[in-house]
Structure formats: C-alpha cells, structure tokens
Amino acid sequence: MISMEMAHFPILTAILMSTIVGLLVILCIPDDRPKLVKQVSFIFAAIGLVLALWLYQAYDVQKGGLQFAERYLWVKSLGIYWFNGVDGINLPMILLTAVVLFTGVWTMWDLEVRVKEFFALIYLLVAGVYGVFMSMDLFWIFVWYDVSLFPMYPLIAIWGGTRKEYGAMKLTLYLLAGSAFILPGILYLWASAGGVTFDLFELQRIGFSPFVQKVAFVMLYIGFGILAAVWPFHTWSPVGHVAAPTAVSMIHAGVLMKLGAYGILRLGMTLCPEGLVYWADLMALLATIAIVYGALVGLAQTDLKYVIGYSSVSHMGMVGLGLSTMTVNGINGAVFQMFAHGVMTALFFSSVGYIYDRTHTKMIPDLGGLSRTMPVASSFFIIAAFAGIGVPCMASFWAELMVFVAAVKTYPVRGILAVTGLVVSALFMLRVVQKTFYGERNERWAHIPDVPLFLAAPRIILVGIILFFGMFPKLMLDVIQSAVVPFVGNL
C-alpha cells in the first residue's frame, strides 16, 4: 500500500533537489560561518544518502525495467523532456554518488580556506552527477554532464596541491573537449530521428541506420571515453587527481569518471548497438592497453596520488573491457566494477588525504613505516589496496572476476593480457603498501596522531560497503542483471 502511494512521489527529483537546495542554502550562509556551512552540507548529503538508500531498497528487482519514472514535456518544439527514471544500471550509480558525497563532505571537515565556496561547488558538481545518472533525456544528460565538469576547474585551481593550475586547466579542457564530441553526437542522433524527441527510449525504438550508428557511436565513445580515461585520452586523469584536494579526488575518481563509462553504456551502446558491434574490437583493444599501461606506469610512480591515478586508469580499463564483450557477464561485471571501483578509490584518496594533510608529503620514499605511527589510517589504505588487487571478499573481486571471465571468452589474447595487467598492478600495489606502511619507520612522523574516530567514521563506512558487497554481491548483481539481460537481448 505504502509503496503504491510513494511511487507517485518524485523521489528522483527529490534526490537531485537535495543537492540544488543544499547549494542554494549554502550560498545564503554568511562568509564568516564556516562551521555552519559544513553542518548544512553534511545534513543535505545525509538527506541524499537516505533517499538513495530508500530508493535502492524500494526498487523492484523482480519487475525490473524503468521505475520511479517522471516525465514532463520541457521544450515543446525540440521534444525535450524532464525525464528521470532508474533501472538496474543507474541505481547502483545513484547509490554510489550518495555514498561518496556523504563521505567526501565528512572527510573535508577540517577545511579552512574559502569553505563556503568549496562546498557550494561540490554541491553543484554532484547535482550534475546525479542529473546524468538519473536523466533519460539526451538534452538533460548533456546539460548535467557539463554542469558536473566545470566546477572541477575552481575546485582544483583554488584548493588543489601539486601543479594545481596546470592540472585544473588540463583537466577542464580535456573534459570539455570530450563534450565537443558528445553534443554533435547527440544532436546527430536527434536530427536523424527527425528532430522531434530527445527521449532516450523513443530514440531507441527508432532504429537508426547502420551508418548513423557507427558515426554517432564513435563520437559518443570518444566524448565520454575521455572522461572514463580511455587510453590514449587518459593523460588528464593522473595529473588532475594529483592536483585535486581530497574530497574532490574522491568525487572525481569515485563518481565523475564513472559518468564517462555510464555515458558510453547508456547512450552509445543503447542507441547504437550496431555501432557497438562495429567498434567493439577497438574498444577492447584500447581497454586492454589501458589496463596494462596503467599498471606498468603505476609501477614507476613515487607519488601516492599518481599511483592511485594510474591504477584508476587501469581499473577503468576493466570497465571498458567488460562493456566491449557485449555479454551479460561482461556488462554485469563492468557496472559492478564501476560501483566497486568508485567506493574503493574514494577510500584510497581519503586515506591518502589524511596522510598528506598531516605529513605534507605524499612521496613514497619520504614516508615509510606508517603502520606503526598511525595504524588505523594505514589500514584504510591497505584495505583499499587489497580491494584494488581484487582480493576475495571485496566487492571488486566479483566485478573483476566477471569481467575477466567474459573477456577471456570473447577476446582470448586480450583477456589474458588484461589478467597479466592485473598481476602487475597487484605487484605495484603491494610494493607501495610495503614501502609506505611497513619497513623502516620514519621518525619525522612519529608524533603524528592517528585518525580520530570522528574522521575515521566516513572511511569506515566505505570499508563497510566494500566488504558488504564483497560478501553479498548478489544484492547488487541481481539489480544490475535485471537491466543487463534485456539490454544484451536487444543487441
């Protein structure tokens, strides 16, 4: 009974509004009340998380398909709709966004410089991310996509670290160069369908000619691929991560990069299945290169954030590889990997952020033996590293397993190469863990206190999620599968 009534409540718009209202409230707070800004940000992030959790449990897996849909005509003459909905693919992504925003805001509790602007921009960014994930209208997907990108520039350039202005400019220009392909791609599909609708499902029913699909797919693939750090468009990603402040790295690597993969899946693969078939081979090749290349380059890094940056390139390569197999297992694994990697990198960056804030260095040779000085802070990093390697009981284990099983079946050579890449990345992760947290203790850091409980809490939540979905992967895989099975059936 209750769920019947609640089905009419625009829960998705409410989630989106939790960020926009949060943004407006933050803007109204006077500059000299940074504490209040943090409290308000925290409350709105919590509201978003509660709504997202409710949404996740309320989604009817048996029924599958698009649920909680809201659809209103927005611009009549072009056929733009305010159209939000969730299915098994974007539901985990919305949950991921809520989790990362909540923990990210919490992690930034000790921020002191230009607090109000920081949280306002974070909220703007996350509004864009939510928007992309829940929108089913191509126009809005593009609008939200751009909204989520441009706050990155000030966020990195003002609060960032190493080479922040360079990193910020490079990242912004790369990502917006991506939208220079996405917008023509979207408009091309729209015009080919007669210029009457931007509704994703109406467009899907049209069935574009093979030529249109091939052209549009490659444009969308390049455009979104830049954000997903597809090799060779990945160079902005490590530089940007290194330059960004902790919460921004968390949101960026944890959620924003997923937008790219999500865009390829939701727009490119849904609307241009024949384009996918035509380009899948190239996709698999680039993804394999990214996995191996990311791992090898990561091996040579001495900066903790660069290490994570390159491991992200490698892990996002796995998402790409999974998508390119065009099988249920591969896509399932890819979507699950998006979630698992999101939580994992958020944990990675938040633990490095803590270490960096205290020691003011993130160079591996300068650290060493940290596990004796701050055992709790170190354990977060080590858990994240295990998750990255794909140790059983971690969420990413299942994701990577599924991707590799599918990949070896579909593309044997590339699949095996990718597995080798994983081995290399295990090697470099363990090496980093060994050098940073074990070995000789550096006395310079002996006085630094361990993470207080208040700041450990958000990291514990992330660890909890990794382990929870590692032990009960079915809770998420069933949801994802409900969307992927019909999707693969349509290919």
Q: Which residues would be at the binding site for other proteins (CB under 8 A)?
A: 74-78, 139, 142-143, 146-147, 150, 153-154, 157-158, 165, 169, 172-173, 176-177, 179-181, 183-184, 187-188, 190-191, 195, 215, 219
Two structure tokens written together for 144: 């939200």
Helices of type H across 366-411:
370-373, 375-389, 395-410
On whether the CB atoms of residues 351 and 381 are closer than 8 A, the answer is yes
**Whole-number minimum distance, CB 461 to other proteins, in Å?**
32
442 secondary structure, DSSP code:
P
Residue closer to other proteins, measured from CB, 9 or 72: 72
Secondary structure of residue 9 in the 3-state scheme: coil
Residue closer to other proteins, measured from CB, 215 or 461: 215
**Whole-number minimum distance, CB 161 to other proteins, in Å?**
14
Query: How many C-beta neighbours within 10 Å does residue 454 have?
Result: 9
**Whole-number minimum distance, CB 151 to other proteins, in Å?**
10
**Whole-number minimum distance, CB 36 to other proteins, in Å?**
18
On whether the CB atoms of residues 337 and 396 are closer than 8 A, the answer is yes
Residue closer to other proteins, measured from CB, 75 or 475: 75
- Using CA atoms, how far apart are residues 35 and 41, in angstroms rounded to an integer? 10
Q: Which amino acid is at 212?
A: V
List the one residue out of 118, 372, 133 whose CA is nearest residue 246.
Answer: 118
Tracing tokens 């703007």 back to the chain, one arrives at 124
255 secondary structure, DSSP code:
I
List the one residue out of 102, 106, 172 whose CA is nearest residue 130.
Answer: 102
Residue closer to other proteins, measured from CB, 55 or 147: 147
List the one residue out of 455, 302, 439 whose CA is nearest residue 370.
Answer: 439
**Whole-number minimum distance, CB 203 to other proteins, in Å?**
14
**Whole-number minimum distance, CB 191 to other proteins, in Å?**
4
On whether the CB atoms of residues 435 and 364 are closer than 8 A, the answer is yes
Dihedral (CA of 79, 85, 88, 89) sign: positive
Residue closer to other proteins, measured from CB, 126 or 394: 126
Residue closer to other proteins, measured from CB, 149 or 476: 149
**Whole-number minimum distance, CB 228 to other proteins, in Å?**
18
**Whole-number minimum distance, CB 323 to other proteins, in Å?**
24
List the one residue out of 416, 410, 418 whose CA is nearest residue 281.
Answer: 410
Residue closer to other proteins, measured from CB, 131 or 330: 131
Residue closer to other proteins, measured from CB, 75 or 423: 75
Two structure tokens written together for 209: 């000619």
